[in-house]
Amino acid sequence: MPILPTGDLEIVAQFGPHLSHQGPAGLDTGVKIDRLVQTHCCFCGQQCGIQLKVKDNAVVGFEPWYDVPFNRGKLCPKGVKRYLQGSHPDRLLHAYERDPAAPGGFGAVPYEQAIGRVAAEIDRIQSQYGPNAFALLSGASLTNEKAYLMGKFAHRCLKTSNIDYNGRLCMVSAAAGNKKAFGVDRAANPWADILGTEVVWISGANVAECAPITTDYVWQARESGAKIIVVDPRLTPIARTCDLFLPVKPGRDVALFNGILHLMIEHDWLDHEFIARHTVGFEAVAEHVEPWTPQRTAKVTGIAEATIRQAAEWWGTARTSFLMHARGIEHHSHGVQNVLGAINMVLASGRIGREHCGYATITGQGNGQGGREHGQKCDQLPGGRDLANPDHRAYVAGVWDMAPEDLPAPGVDAYEIFRKIDKGEIRGLLSICFNPLVSLPDNNFIRQTLEKLEFFATIDFFLSETAHHADIVLPGSLHEEDEGTVTTTEGRVIKINKAVDCPGEARQDWRIIQDIARTMGREQGFTFTQPREIFDELRRASKGGICDYAGITYEKIEAHYGVFWPCPDADHPGTPRLFEAGSWNAVAKGAGPFYFPDGKARFNVAPYTPPTEEVDGDYPVILTTGRVVSQFLSGTQTRRIGPLVDQYPEPRLEIHPQLAGQLDIADGDWVTAESRRGTCTLRAQVVRTIRPDTVFIPYHWGGRKSANQLTIAAQDPISKIPEYKVCAVRVSKATAPPAYVRELEPQQ
C-alpha cells in the first residue's frame, strides 16, 4: 500500500530532491532529453517564458526561452529551480482518506471511491442544511480555464453562494480601487512603458525579490536617466539602488499620497487639461488634501519633510512616469484608500494611458490577474461580471443553459467563510489551490475552525498543512501536467503547455471537478474533454463583459506571445495600453477611454485612518510580514525544492540594531515575538535595512514557524483584504530554542 509521507512538515524540505539531469546552475549535463516544451513559470504573476526539458515523462531541467518579449530568457531563482518539484517523493499519487489508524493519519483509497465520498457528502450536507452550507475555496494559481470552471461549479452545479479564492488575500484592494477610479481592474500599461520613463515610483513592492524580472525594467529605465523613488519600511534590494527612499511607517501610505498631492496643488504641478477632460471629482479631493501639509505628512508617515518635498517635486515636474504598487500598500484595513490615494496622484499628473506614462499594481500569484476575472470571487460572474446585476445574471445564465433565478446570490469572502464555519452556518468545504492554515491571519482560529467541519476535502499535489485536516485529499495536477491560459501582471493572456502526464492516480484539476459533478448526477455543463473547450466557453461567457476575452484563441496567443484583453473579436489585436485615446472602449462608447458611461476617470477622496491595532506599552513594536526571494507563498512548493531551502531555510525576524540593542538581542539569537493572538520563536536577523520601530517576518512556513500565528484578522471594509502588513507585537530574547528545535537535537 502506498505510504503517505509522514515527515514532520517543518523539516520535510530537508530531503528536497536533487534528482535531476541538470547541473546545479541549470547547466546542461549532456543527458539526452525527449523534448523541450515552451511554457511559462508556475510561480509569480510575471509569468516568465521558460522551456522545460522532458525525459521519460519527467521534467528534468529547463532552457531559457529568449523569444518571449516579457522576460527575454531571464528567470529568477524560483524559475530556475521549479523543475525540481515534480519528482519530489512527497508528490501525492493517490487519493487519501483520513484514517487515524494509518501511518500519517491517512490511508490511500481508490480515486473513484474518494470522488464518491466527496459527492455523497456534498449531497448530504446540502440536502440537510441548504445549498449554502457547502462552500468552495479556490486559487489564483489556477489557469483561467480552471478558475472559470470553479465559478461555474459553485454557481451552476452546487448552486452555493459561498465560493471565494486566495486572491482575497492578495490583490483585492487594488482591484476595488481600480474599479472605483477607472471602472476596470487591470494594469493600465504594458511593462514596455517603464522603459524610457522619467520617474518610476514604487510603493510597497519588494520588486527585486517578488517580481524579479520587473527589476530589469526598472534598472533599464534608470540606465536611461529615470529617477527611482521607493516607499517601504524596509530598505529592500530595489530600494538600495533607488534615487530617493521614503522609509514609511507601516500603514501610513495614504497620508503620504495625500501629502504629495497637497504639494502638487500648492506648486501647480497639475495637468489641468487632463483633469478637466478626463476626470471627475478633483475639487473634493483637493479640498480633502488641503490639511495634509508636509509637516503633518512627515509626522504621520515618519518620513523626513525634505524627502517628501523632494519626492513631490520629482513626481510633480516629470513629463513621463510609471507608478507601481503591490501588497505593501494593499494589505491593510484601509488598503483600498491607499490605492485610491496613489491613483489620485497619478490622475492629477495626467500621466496615464500614454507611452511611458503608466500605472499598475504588480499582481501576485501566477494567474493573479485572470484568477480574479472569471467568476471564482464571491460576488462575480465570468468576464468581470457582477453576480448581483440582473443583466449580467441573465447573460451568463444563457451561456450556462439555466434560468437566471437559479443562480445563487453573492456569497461571502474567504475569511468570512471560516467565521461561518465557526458559527455552524457552513458545514462542508472543498478547497483547491489554497492553503489557508498557513496563509490566513490569526491562523490558530483557522485550525480550530477546520476541525469543526462535518466534511472537508482538498485538491492538491502535496499534502499541505491545511490538507492535514481534510477527510479526503484528491491528487491534483502540477502546472506542467495541464494546458490552459493565464493572464499576466500586464494583462497579457498567455498559454501554458503540458509537458508531462499526471503520475499515478493524480488527475488534472478540471477533470476532478467534473468527476464530482458527474458522480453527483449533475454532469450537464461539465462534460468538457479538454481545456480548449473550457476556454471557448469562457470566451463566450466573457463576451461583452469588462474582461472581454471573446477574440482570444490559443492560436492567436501562440502566434503573438500573448494577447492583452479586452479583445472583443477575432480581428482585434488586443489592448496593451488600456486607456489610450482611440482604444476600443473609447471608440465603442464615443466617450473617453475610462470604463464609465461618460468615459471619465474618478478621483476619490481617500481619508487616512490608522491601522486597526496600534502599538502600545504592552505591544510596543510594529510587525509587518511578507516574502523572501527563494520561497513562494505558503511554501508547500518551494519548501520542497532543496536549493531554494538552502538559500533561505527558515523564517527569521528582521530587526534594526537599535531595537535589538535595547532588547539585548544579537544576530542569530532565538527571539520570541508575541501578539494578542499568538507567539512565534525564531532567530533574529539584525539588519540596518528596517525601521527601528518595525520588525519583519516572512510568512512562508506553517505550524510553529508561521508568522500568521501573530497577525490580526482585521479586514478592509470594501475589499475584505486582511491587514497582514501591520499588527502590534512585543519581542524578547527567548529563554530556549523552540520545542521543535530541541526535539531535533541529539539526545544524550
Ligand X SMILES: Nc1nc2c(c(=O)[nH]1)N[C@H]1C(S)=C(S)[C@@H](COP(=O)(O)OP(=O)(O)OC[C@H]3O[C@@H](n4cnc5c(=O)[nH]c(N)nc54)[C@H](O)[C@@H]3O)O[C@H]1N2
Cα of first residue to Cα of last residue in the chain, in angstroms, is 36
Q: Residues 51, 144, 161, 236: which binds ligand X (CB under 6 A)?
A: 236
456 binds, among ligand X, ligand SF4, Mo ion, none (CB under 5 to 8 A by kind): none
Answer yes or no whether residue 439 interacts with ligand X by CB under 6 A.
yes
- HEC string of 203-259 equals ECCCHHHHCHHHHHHHHHHHHCCCEEEEECCECCCCHHHCCEEECCCCCCHHHHHHH
Nearest distance from residue 716's CB to ligand SF4, in Å?
26
- Give the HSE-up count for residue 132: Cα atoms under 13 Å, Cβ half-sphere: 13
Q: Residues 9, 12, 44, 163: which binds ligand SF4 (CB under 6 A)?
A: 44
Answer yes or no whether residue 41 interacts with ligand SF4 by CB under 6 A.
yes
Answer yes or no whether residue 476 interacts with ligand X by CB under 6 A.
yes
Nearest distance from residue 204's CB to ligand X, in Å?
3
Residue type, 240: R
Answer yes or no whether residue 187 interacts with Mo ion by CB under 5 A.
no
Question: Residue with C-alpha cell 489641468?
Answer: 272
Comparing CB distances to ligand SF4, the nearer of 48 and 478 is: 48
Interstrand relation of 244-246 and 380-381 (parallel, antiparallel or unpaired): unpaired
CA atoms of 623 and 706, how far apart (whole Å)? 13
Cα 474 to chain centroid distance, Å, stands at 23
Answer yes or no whether residue 722 interacts with Mo ion by CB under 5 A.
no
Answer yes or no whether residue 364 interacts with Mo ion by CB under 5 A.
yes
Answer yes or no whether residue 12 interacts with ligand X by CB under 6 A.
no
**Strand blocks (E) in 79-223:** 95-98, 106-109, 134-138, 163-165, 199-203
Q: Residues 624, 672, 685, 719: which binds ligand X (CB under 6 A)?
A: 624
Subset of 496-535 contacting Mo ion (CB under 5 A): none
How far apart, in Å, are the Cα atoms of 681 and each of 9, 167, 607, 733, 737?
Answer: 17, 29, 37, 9, 7
Answer yes or no whether residue 294 interacts with ligand X by CB under 6 A.
no
The CB-nearest residue to Mo ion is 364
Angle between helices 305-317 and 335-349 (to 10 degrees): 50
Nearest distance from residue 167's CB to ligand X, in Å?
7
Q: Residues 4, 13, 37, 48: which binds ligand SF4 (CB under 6 A)?
A: 48
**Which stretches within 451-508 are classed as H helix?**
none
Give yes or no for a contact between 418 and 446, defined as CB atoms under 8 angstroms apart.
Answer: yes
Give yes or no for a contact between 328 and 291, defined as CB atoms under 8 angstroms apart.
Answer: no
Answer yes or no whether residue 175 interacts with Mo ion by CB under 5 A.
no
Nearest distance from residue 176's CB to Mo ion, in Å?
15
Answer yes or no whether residue 203 interacts with ligand X by CB under 6 A.
yes
Comparing CB distances to ligand X, the nearer of 166 and 583 is: 166
Answer yes or no whether residue 59 interacts with ligand SF4 by CB under 6 A.
no
Answer yes or no whether residue 215 interacts with ligand SF4 by CB under 6 A.
no
- HEC string of 290-333 equals CCCCHHHHHHHHCCCHHHHHHHHHHHHHCCCEEEEECHHHHCCC
φ, ψ (nearest 5 deg) of residue 733: -70, 135
Nearest distance from residue 212's CB to ligand SF4, in Å?
5
CA atoms of 479 and 498, how far apart (whole Å)? 8
DSSP, res 649: -
Answer yes or no whether residue 546 interacts with ligand SF4 by CB under 6 A.
no
75 binds, among ligand SF4, Mo ion, ligand X, none (CB under 5 to 8 A by kind): ligand SF4
Residues that bind ligand SF4 (CB under 6 A): 41, 43-44, 46-48, 75-76, 78-79, 212-213
Residues that bind Mo ion (CB under 5 A): 170, 364
Residues that bind ligand X (CB under 6 A): 44, 139, 141-142, 166, 169-170, 203-206, 209-210, 231-234, 236, 248, 250-251, 253, 326-329, 331, 364-365, 432-436, 439, 459-462, 464, 476, 479, 509, 624-627, 629, 631-634, 636-637, 696, 699, 707-708, 711, 724-725
